[in-house]
Structure 1
Amino acid sequence: MSTIVRTALTTALAALAATGPALAHHPMGGATPTTFLQGLLSGFGHPILGLDHLAALVVVGLLASRAGRGWFILPALWIGAMGVGVAAHLGSVDLPGAELLVAGSLVAIALIAVLNPALPVAVTGSAFLVGGFAHGHALAESVVGAEPMPIAAYLVGLVVVQAAITTAIAFAARRLFPAGAEAPAGFRAAAGAMGAVGLVFLVIAARSLA
């Protein structure tokens, strides 16, 4: 069994075990933030406590690490689209099948990282725009009904933590997986593991709609 398959299966099993607690555990205990500090802490914590959101950020960082000098464009596209998704949800714009889109977008960008991480930035960036929007729309649920101040703080927290994670992953991946014509097996295994997490959430989302 290849390294990619072993890593993906192991991560999928771990995701299955952790999904229940992770879905039930959000910043501020699931309560809507009412102060600037609560909004900020919720923004910092939500993308980390949500396993599907965290896995997506890891893949964003991995793909950014293979993009050369313009690597920062990809995280910026993701975060920008995420902000638009948040605004759309707060503006009462519905996103049919939102959870399916969140999980499906994670699987899609993970497949890009596994199969062809050298795709042009325009192609990968398009996938990031869709995925970032879907994830942002889902993340906005935590502040629906909140006052403008905690919402603004929440957005600041989201941007800061996602920029930090994607940048850290990109730099770490550059050191661990040197640039070359073909992505190393370790790189593809890491991306495959994140895709396995997305697949778990995709199955859960599909079952909830059945």
Structure 2
Amino acid sequence: MKRLVALLALAPLPAFAHHPMGGTTPATLWEGFASGIGHPVIGLDHLAFLLAAGVLAATLPTRRGVLAILAFVGGGFAGSLAHVAGIGFGPVEALVALTVVLAGLALLRGVTGALLPAAFAVAGLVHGHAFAEAIIGAEATPLVAYLAALALMQAGIGIVAMLVARRIAAAGHEARMRTAAGLAGIAIGAVFLGVSLVG
């Protein structure tokens, strides 16, 4: 119960999560870079998806797993550019939360295979669109720095999660890991989905 209360307390944070500089648009190269580095870890829904994606990617051969993570990053880059260009994706916060729920379900159902990179790319579009909220109105220099740092950070988190998941699986704990990660993803995604729909 305490964990659920803590999760509900964090749920109103998605708006803050899209403004790593405290609500101000990055104005310098350093601010853009720092914002891009911090952004993937201050939004619990985004971080939950990256970690779940890493566990899912661990079921693929290493090279394909890395490519799957990079597909998410590439999709995110495209989604960010779409937002900057004024292209809307509808209820983005709800869609981000839905990707977390779906990732959790995929973990519980043991989903693997060639469709993961494509699924990650589609999810990346939604996450990237949400990420770009922090840089609307920024000049070119902080914008480029933000997108570069964001891509590096997301790739790093996803690949590290994949490598750690592979080690855990090699130690004989894959089923337990997938169950725990899947349930966590569903819970986090459901909370954020509820908040986004009510708000």
Report the TM-score, using the length of structure 2 for normalisation.
Answer: 0.91
Cα distance in 2 for residues equivalent to 1:43 and 1:84: 15
C-alpha displacement of 1:191: 2.5
Partner residue of 1:79? 73
Q: Across the two proteins, how many residue pairs are aligned to each other? A: 197
Question: For 1:60 and 1:163, how far apart are their aligned partners in 2?
Answer: 11
Could you tell me whether the CA contact under 8 Å between 2:168 and 2:174 is conserved in 1? no
The superposition leaves residues 134-164 of structure 1 with CA deviations (integer Å, 9 ceiling, x where unpaired) of 0000000000010010000000110111111
Which ranges in structure 2 are unaligned for 5 or more consecutive residues? none
Q: Using the aligned pairs only, state the percent identity.
A: 36
Checking the alignment, whether the CA contact within 8 Å between 1:12 and 1:197 is kept in structure 2 is: no
Measure the CA separation in 1 of the matches of 2:73 and 2:171. Answer: 24
Distance 1:137 1:102, change over 3 A: same
Q: How does 1:140-179 map to 2 (within 5 A)?
A: 140-178=132-170
Asked whether the equivalents of residues 110 and 195 of structure 1 are also in contact (C-alpha less than 8 Å), the reply is yes
Q: Aligned-pair distance for 1:126? A: 2.5
Deviation larger for 19-28 or 100-109: 19-28
Note if 1:97 corresponds to 2:91. Answer: yes
| Worse overlay, 93-102 or 35-44 | 93-102
Cα distance in 1 between the residues matched to 2:37 and 2:153: 6
Q: Quick one: distance in 2 between partners of 1:64 and 1:98?
A: 24
Contact 1:43 1:156 (C-alpha < 8 Å) held by counterparts: yes
- Corresponding letter in the other structure for 1:207: V
**Equivalent residue number for residue 126 of structure 1:** 118
Cα distance, 1:94 vs. partner? 0.8
**Which letter maps to 2:120?**
F
Name the aligned partner's letter for residue 157 of structure 1.
Answer: A
Q: Are the aligned partners of 1:33 and 1:150 in contact in 2 as well (CA < 8 Å)?
A: yes
Query: 1:102-126 CA distances to partner (integer Å, 9 max, x unpaired)?
Result: 1111111221112123x222x2223
Over the aligned positions, Cα root-mean-square deviation in angstroms equals 2.0
d(CA) in 2 for partners of 1:62 and 1:10? 26
Deviation at 1:95, TM superposition (A): 1.0
Counterpart of 1:16 (choices 1, 8, 19) is 8
Any stretches of 5+ residues in structure 1 without a counterpart? 1-8
Q: Residue 104 of structure 2 contacts residue 181 of structure 2 at CA under 8 Å; is this kept in 1?
A: no
Match status 1:28 vs 2:21: yes
2:107–2:182: 8 Å Cα contact kept in structure 1? yes
Is the contact between residue 50 and residue 154 of structure 2 (CA under 8 Å) also seen in structure 1? Answer: yes
Q: TM-score, normalised on structure 1? A: 0.87
Matched, 1:62 2:37: no
